[in-house]
Structure 1
């Protein structure tokens, strides 16, 4: 397999390590680097843990470039019948439900988007960290911490750097006591250069796209959308009726959720602006959304405009129209498709609504801005005027999550 020079360099840098982390920007070919490292380690068995939406991609990758492997999407097979030279592929939500994997030995484990084990208390993380016994570990992520360095603790333990959470917080996190809540509050970070040097000693490497390629420019365009009486009523009173249903924001989480929905699919003005954007071009378009109701109204609009449609969400991954129709529209739900997809045939992304997760936001932009993209990339943000969406975008640009706590602070200011 012919690799890019930067991929060869990373493999050479980590040649002596049996536990490695490739923290490299989206679009630099983590799939090829990780699979080539797995081939070099040459264990009888291999386990790839990935998102559900990436299972078929990994299967096709190994079958095309490593035909010597037996590629198995692992569900409930008995380990006794699995031959050597196998790659078992399973998604994060199933791995902890397959206790038979605890008996797997002589294997290399690769975690695609390893940031998904950042919560060490989740079932997936506890199973991977405590129950699996890999000889070698390969971690792949373009956003290993999303600006929150404390989220890397579970990953560094997999690399063999055994450090308690308390010690990590003392050495690398700035905290102050919150008298109101009676607990420690993170206010920043320290000794980050030392942290990265230490990580390199344990097989972690870092690389940004701009260090390797001159990718096309990125253009960010805010598209203001007229607000509605319903949005303003809900923002004022935290209750409003829509389409015969009463929405009551009696908790901060509900209030934030409903404000986002009143600014999104409940706003007909936003649908009209989306229609105008779609009608303005025959190019391939990518549209990111959050909620099932949003998908339904956007699909209906695309049907009316007679545009070929592809969909990626928790239930389906259908990219046929995207691959074959130059005027297609691809609807992607953040959780299912913001990570891992190669969509550089398109150079235009429309954000119908914003995610509140910084990692998903950053990853979504890289679906088009990656190796193979030859055109400038455009990102259109549909933002309801006077709504929470503007503040969400500001926070996401700072690479922070828009949390319930931030929402409460904004509510108090208004």
Structure 2
């Protein structure tokens, strides 16, 4: 595997692998385009099988290598290079769309992802088909790919874990397991309850926030002497009084990491986190529970401390370690950024549920915590996998404790008042939700300010022309669908159901490698066109008000921004997805501690969670996210405990483009959490994704003219 990783790293600057054909449509890029469209079509039919997962990863690897080769090839003219990079961007867009449909393949895009023999074989065949000259070692695959199951797992057991097991081979039995509650369904025996329970959070709020009663804390000081805020001490007190499961959904920035570490009087403790924050978790553990040793699992766990009290692992490598993690003897488990597991069919969700179930089978009352400031992204059903992880429900029905409480209500879903009482019963299982405005009055206010910019020049005209072309195509398709109807009454006004169906068809049919535009490629182009304008604005802020956090979605936008800052002689730091934990930590420390570092340029996906950047009070969002939750998470890297100044997030919006519609849709989606968790009376918006809504908005506006 090390040999494969070396070839991949070398592939980034390959000069020896030359095409044996002219640089035309017979090269490797059409091969990649055909392969990625096949994978995308398979993902539209359902979860990807092993063969398509291998093809997906092979395309990703070759795309990176080809991009690096094209950039380094001095024989290409600027026009040829731009054309090739544009076509590779199309392949990257389809990879992203496919990963959005089947999130289990996201891990195949990471630097830590293992490369199977099957993937190497597919990659070799693609290189040959693309007319590339292979190195001798690339022509020979070490062995024929062995049959693989649908979700291949490479399991490891670190040597340090073996040593710990040998030192303590017998885990003491937990006799309290015999006293687990048993469900006694009566009225609700034949009712399907998941639908009513989810609806209870939409319609049963009654003006109340979704937070269980918490006891008054006896002290605001931890055992190590650190001082807590009152809302933090309340949760710690609830855990010390015996409550063992929590969905801690405090707004971002209210110190969920500290609360979970101090509440976790249950060691050894397993902490599952996004890769970007696992080093930060080790730091926080040292700060809040200095008497407990924390260890971080990297890769196969070669440097793991098997005798540590806190084991921190990232989602991306759970597949390798799930086996021994489930039998390690953990007394508690914390899942950070728990909205990552909302898709139950994803591999990361399956492993989280598997490990939690094994812990429950060994410990009668383990501490189980799910931390997320944004538990609801698209619909109230985003709760489902989190509830299952916490042990409140299983795959088909509520578990015993919740079922008995629902029975004690004395009502069925057909009775008035059931929704309000059912919502309360679920909340009492352990939902804790506090807002900054209510519990942390000393955290200054925040606001989002939109900065409209005009996209001038040829690029701006091209984007607006492409949007008009896409809109005209949608209108034609709508009228064709209307004309194809037979035996129905004429349509009066706009058929909004058909509008959404046309938008859905268009999203399914289009890809960026075709001659037409789609919403993904258009937004990507807008981001590139806004890059310099956004960076110029951030540079002005940095010169006038101090440190600035600059967020973008795409690496090329980040690159353009850093070029602007360099021309302005502004010292920068950066946080990207391809950095090692040590590199990322060094960059963050430089921004926080070095007064000369004026701007930190951050990837919206890699730096949007778990980082403390409150040394700044200004955030520039150069590109829009596809979710309000992602936008909120980014802003709350700055708007959190420790912030002393009002926070402003400056959204750079391309005027007269689809950018403005996306911004409106993001804002409308923000009412979901307010309705379900905070007791707001705002109307719950449709839960369809923003890409679909954006396309539908384009068509609706055109039909209304």
Matched, 1:67 2:290: yes
SS of the equivalent of 2:570 reads coil
Counterpart contact for 2:444–2:647, Cα < 8 Å: yes
2:238 alignment counterpart: 13
Counterpart contact for 2:235–2:263, Cα < 8 Å: no
Query: Structure 1 pair 152/125, CA: closer, same or farther in 2 (3 Å)?
Result: same
Matched, 1:271 2:546: no
Counterpart contact for 2:295–2:304, Cα < 8 Å: no
Query: Structure 1 pair 412/96, CA: closer, same or farther in 2 (3 Å)?
Result: same
Counterpart contact for 2:615–2:643, Cα < 8 Å: yes
Stretch of structure 1 that moved more, 225-234 or 192-201: 192-201
In terms of Rg, which structure is larger?
2
Residues of 1 paired with 2:571 and 2:528: CA distance?
Answer: 21
SS of the equivalent of 2:391 reads coil
Instruction: Report the Cα offset of residue 3 of structure 1.
Output: 1.5
Instruction: Report the Cα offset of residue 191 of structure 1.
Output: 7.4
Stretch of structure 1 that moved more, 393-402 or 368-377: 393-402
Residues of 2 paired with 1:392 and 1:402: CA distance?
Answer: 11
Work out which of the residue numbers 605, 623, 628 in structure 2 matches 1:353: 623
Instruction: Report the Cα offset of residue 296 of structure 1.
Output: 1.0
Instruction: Report the Cα offset of residue 389 of structure 1.
Output: 1.2
Residues of 1 paired with 2:588 and 2:261: CA distance?
Answer: 24
Residues of 2 paired with 1:65 and 1:80: CA distance?
Answer: 21
Residues of 1 paired with 2:316 and 2:421: CA distance?
Answer: 34
Counterpart contact for 1:96–1:128, Cα < 8 Å: no
Counterpart contact for 2:542–2:599, Cα < 8 Å: no
2:392 alignment counterpart: 161
Q: Describe how 1:323-362 pairs up with structure 2 within 5 A.
A: 323=592, 324-325=594-595, 328-362=598-632
Matched, 1:233 2:465: yes
Deviations 1:71-91 (A, max 9, x none): 2112434899822x5211111
Deviations 1:108-138 (A, max 9, x none): 1111111111111100101111244224212
2:435 alignment counterpart: 208
Instruction: Report the Cα offset of residue 57 of structure 1.
Output: 0.6
Work out which of the residue numbers 224, 249, 253 in structure 2 matches 1:23: 249
**TM-score using structure 2 length:** 0.50
Counterpart contact for 2:258–2:288, Cα < 8 Å: no
2:381 alignment counterpart: 150
Stretch of structure 1 that moved more, 306-315 or 401-410: 401-410
1:406 alignment counterpart: 693
Counterpart contact for 1:343–1:367, Cα < 8 Å: yes
SS of the equivalent of 1:263 reads helix
Tell me how large the CA RMSD over aligned residues is: 2.8
Counterpart contact for 2:572–2:601, Cα < 8 Å: yes
Instruction: Report the Cα offset of residue 166 of structure 1.
Output: 8.4
2:557 alignment counterpart: 294
Instruction: Report the Cα offset of residue 260 of structure 1.
Output: 0.9
1:371 alignment counterpart: 641
How many positions carry a matched residue from both structures?
379
2:341 alignment counterpart: 117
Counterpart contact for 1:310–1:331, Cα < 8 Å: yes
Q: Which runs of 5+ in 2 are unaligned?
A: 1-221, 400-416, 472-506, 513-517, 671-687
Matched, 1:4 2:229: yes
SS of the equivalent of 1:116 reads helix
Counterpart contact for 1:260–1:389, Cα < 8 Å: yes
Instruction: Report the Cα offset of residue 376 of structure 1.
Output: 1.5
Instruction: Report the Cα offset of residue 330 of structure 1.
Output: 0.9
Work out which of the residue numbers 36, 43, 50 in structure 1 matches 2:273: 50
Deviations 1:52-74 (A, max 9, x none): 11111111122233233232112
Residues of 1 paired with 2:643 and 2:302: CA distance?
Answer: 43
Matched, 1:305 2:536: no
Instruction: Report the Cα offset of residue 266 of structure 1.
Output: 3.1
SS of the equivalent of 1:389 reads helix
Query: Structure 1 pair 202/167, CA: closer, same or farther in 2 (3 Å)?
Result: closer
SS of the equivalent of 1:60 reads helix
Work out which of the residue numbers 96, 99, 103 in structure 1 matches 2:319: 96
Counterpart contact for 1:153–1:165, Cα < 8 Å: no
Counterpart contact for 1:27–1:369, Cα < 8 Å: yes
Residues of 2 paired with 1:79 and 1:319: CA distance?
Answer: 24
Matched, 1:36 2:262: yes
Residues of 1 paired with 2:422 and 2:658: CA distance?
Answer: 36
2:591 alignment counterpart: 322
Q: Which runs of 5+ in 1 are unaligned?
A: 169-189, 240-248
Query: Structure 1 pair 304/130, CA: closer, same or farther in 2 (3 Å)?
Result: same
Deviations 1:298-320 (A, max 9, x none): 11111111111111121222213
Query: Structure 1 pair 81/300, CA: closer, same or farther in 2 (3 Å)?
Result: closer
SS of the equivalent of 1:119 reads coil
Structure with a larger share of its residues in strand: 1
Residues of 1 paired with 2:395 and 2:649: CA distance?
Answer: 41
SS of the equivalent of 1:59 reads helix
Stretch of structure 1 that moved more, 401-410 or 222-231: 401-410
Counterpart contact for 2:548–2:619, Cα < 8 Å: yes
2:425 alignment counterpart: 198
Structure with a larger share of its residues in helix: 2
